[in-house]
Structure 1
Amino acid sequence: MNIVNLPEEILIIIIKQLDLISLYNLYTACFRIRHIISVCKVIKACDLSLNTMATVQSLKLNFFKDISRHLQELNMCGVTDLSKSVLLPALSRMKSLNTLNVSYTNINIFDFVELYQSCPSIKNISINFTFGKTSRVKLLKKSLLQCQEVFKNLDFVNFVGNLSNLIYSQLPLFILCKSKLKTLQYTVIECDMTTYENEDCEERVQFNQFSIYFLDGKNSSVYYGFMHEMLLFSMLEFHNYEVIIIIRLNLKSVSLYATPV
């Protein structure tokens, strides 16, 4: 029996098991499959990270345009040529998008403020904690207040950036001070002390779960023995939480500790 002669419900099960490349090939080769993908809301998650379709040109394909209307998750982590100008028209078609990962791309915090206006259904964001410049710069308070208004609508935030901006700066806390997050996550990817000047923040960030990852690929031997000095921890009300979980990773073993606060 030819695959196109199978009942629609069987074809939908098959389609859901395919990786993105196989799905695209099937879409271009068969009209019936193309119709099912376009109409039946089969594809709700799209992972463009670390595969041969990880390029901004994929956003311009008819295949992507057809699945965009029903997408709930879009992962473009590591798509190095991704920019706001390319992503903006694609997001405007995504009326159901809930989760967006644009970390390790050219998208910065100010870009996301504009992107969110085109796709206000986003609740979960992973993004580089940068603002379009690499040198020390004074950020305008007006722009930061706009960030506050956007981030207060989110449930999950993962900021990816350097040590000084995430840990020793009040800038992330200032941006998130109106938020009531389910999860806040920091991913520290380098220890360089390139910083942004920012407003002081006296508010405390509200969240249900907090996690921090140290992924300094430039210097894997660095020792993070500064935890007690972090400005971040003085801003977080840990007495409101029942358990702190600490995970220590090395080449030979994994140690996990869970202790009542």
Structure 2
Amino acid sequence: MTRTDDAGEETTGPAGVVGAAYRAFMAAVRELDDERSWAPTGCAGWAARDLVFHCLTDAQRALNALHSPTGEAPDRDAVSYWADWRQQDATGRERAAQGRRFARTVAGMFLCFGQLRELYLETAAAVLHAAGQADPRQPVVTQGHVLRAGELLRTLAVEATVHHLDLRVHLPALPGPSAEGLAEVRRTLDGLLGRPVPLPWDDAHYARAATGRAPVTAAERAALGPDAARLPLFG
């Protein structure tokens, strides 16, 4: 049976999943004011405003991708997309550092956080409209790869949900991420791991531990066995 939300909209399909994840994150962003926008986050070197700017660029990328159909065959799906975002080698670490500097620099150019907040909210709303109109089977182009639109939407839900957790590390009173987004993160991480994680982690802790945001104990590493060396599954 297809699950629906209070408005009667499907929440298990790609558009429903990204809709739930984005709306939850948007609710948290709406509660940020200028002072709280300087709070640290779970992303190294980023304040809340830097993180919101990063999520703005991801929403802009989403709009570009959803309007970039192609006849090429997909070379990534919602799980394999993340294989490019492991940061364990020197190239990955340098790319991550460059991204952190860029977000900090440009986010700092907004004299009033409210300007950035409203730009993010209106762009995210546009993504949700485009997601609702998209054919999930249509291949689209993003970041040098081709994914079906539905697979792209699932990656967007994962990105928004993981960063939602980052935003709340020092601002726990903010509204939390959606159950649909957290479930999509778990599905993605299990796919990257190649099996359901053999630990009693809840969705939020699994998301943070498997992406290098929370420490993994020696006992947990023992339970993971050889797979422990593969963490973080993406950064």
Measured against the shorter chain, the TM-score band is under 0.3
Query: Which of the pair has more CA radius of gyration?
Result: 1
Q: Name which structure has the greater RCO, CA cutoff 8 Å, separation 6+.
A: 2
TM-score w.r.t. structure 1 length? 0.26
TM-score w.r.t. structure 2 length? 0.28
| Structure (1 or 2) with the greater strand fraction | 1
